Amino acid sequence: MIRSLFDYLRLAATYVRFNLKAHLEYRGAFFSQVVSMFINDGAWVIFWILFFKRFPVLHGWTITDVITLWAVVTAGFGLAFGIMGNAFQLATLIAQGEIDVWLLQPRAVLPHMLLGRSAPSAWGDALFGFVVYLGFVRPDWPRMLAFIFLSLIVGVVFIGFAVLCGSLSFFMGHAGALADQWRNALISFSTYPPTLFQGAVKVLLYTVIPAGFVSYLPVQTLRSMSAVDGLLCVGGALLVLAAGVSAFYWGLRRYESGNLVSMNG
């Protein structure tokens, strides 16, 4: 089990290296996407800084909490799609019958396929998350280590959710637009202070759109450094991942090849 895990981690490292090398063949385009995503995220943080300058506290949340929120969400999102960029394309890959190539290889289909591509702009998000957390929040060592761990956990939520949304294509035909909408809703809700939402919407944020596991719980963990909050984050992430993986392998039984002849280089 442990050996198999290390084996997959080595595979992931190899894919990351190859994907980065491929991006660096067009280094102008790659760096421009990384830098522009960094600036894009920075624009949001500037918006919140201006906002909190005028309204200093928002239902108990301060500017430090919102910056922590942005840092952990962007770092998690960036790591997730920088490493497993095919999670973005899953709905289209399934709808167009393009996963044959991954079915033929001696590896588990889902992780292998997800590793096959890297989203270049996601590296800008990841870089932004770490820079802004170090620069603005100035954490101590335990908090920094917790931040790295929680970024990975948030990444797991994003991947699990993207797989869940993308797998809808097995059941509905082309679910690309729906998957995009659902994923955008997760991003929209997870980048605002969760204390804004109450009642039924709060329930939705821990179930249908699991933004609570991406935003509220990780920030709460970094505030309190409580093991219980940390365990809740891990539990939530594993639940979302399990839902996504189950939906994928259940749907895979219904998969029909597109009979495409393509090179996978």
Partner 1 sequence: MRTGWLKSVSKYSWIGYTAARSEWAYSAANVSRIIFMATVLYVFMRLWSVVYEGAGVERLGGLTEKQMLWYLVATESIIMSMPRLWYEVDHEVRTGAVAVQLIRPLSYIGAHFGRSTGERLVRFAINLVMGSLIATLFAGPIAFSLSGLAMFAMVLPMAFIIDFFGAMLVGLCAFWLESTQGIALIYSRLMMLLGGLMVPLEVYPDSVQPILRALPFAAILNAPGRMLVAPTFALFVQCLGLQALCLVVYGFGVFALHRYALRRVFVNGG
The least CB distance from residue 76 to partner 1, in Å, is 20
Q: Which residue has the tokens 């909050």?
A: 229
How far is it, in rounded angstroms, from Cα 255 to Cα 95? 9
- In this structure, are residues 133 and 51 in contact, taking their beta carbons and an 8 Å threshold? no
Other Cβ atoms within 10 Å of 181 Cβ, number: 12
Nearer to partner 1 among residue 185 and residue 239 (C-beta)? 185
Told to check if 35 binds partner 1 by CB under 8 A, we report yes
Told to check if 263 binds partner 1 by CB under 8 A, we report no
Segment 108 to 147, residues that bind partner 1, using CB under 8 A: 121
How far is it, in rounded angstroms, from Cα 42 to Cα 37? 8
The least CB distance from residue 188 to partner 1, in Å, is 5
How far is it, in rounded angstroms, from Cα 237 to Cα 88? 18
The least CB distance from residue 185 to partner 1, in Å, is 6
Among 84, 114, 82, smallest CA distance to 248 is for: 114
Told to check if 46 binds partner 1 by CB under 8 A, we report yes
Q: Would you say how long the chain is, in residues? A: 265
Segment 166 to 195, residues that bind partner 1, using CB under 8 A: 177-178, 180-181, 184-185, 188-189, 192, 195
The region, left, alpha or beta by phi > 0 then psi within -120 to 50, assigned to residue 112 is: alpha
Nearer to partner 1 among residue 181 and residue 257 (C-beta)? 181
Told to check if 8 binds partner 1 by CB under 8 A, we report no
Among 32, 106, 108, 118, smallest CA distance to 80 is for: 118
Nearer to partner 1 among residue 181 and residue 207 (C-beta)? 181
Binding site for partner 1 (CB under 8 A): 26, 28-29, 32-33, 35-37, 39-40, 43-44, 46-47, 50-51, 53-55, 57-59, 121, 177-178, 180-181, 184-185, 188-189, 192, 195-197, 201
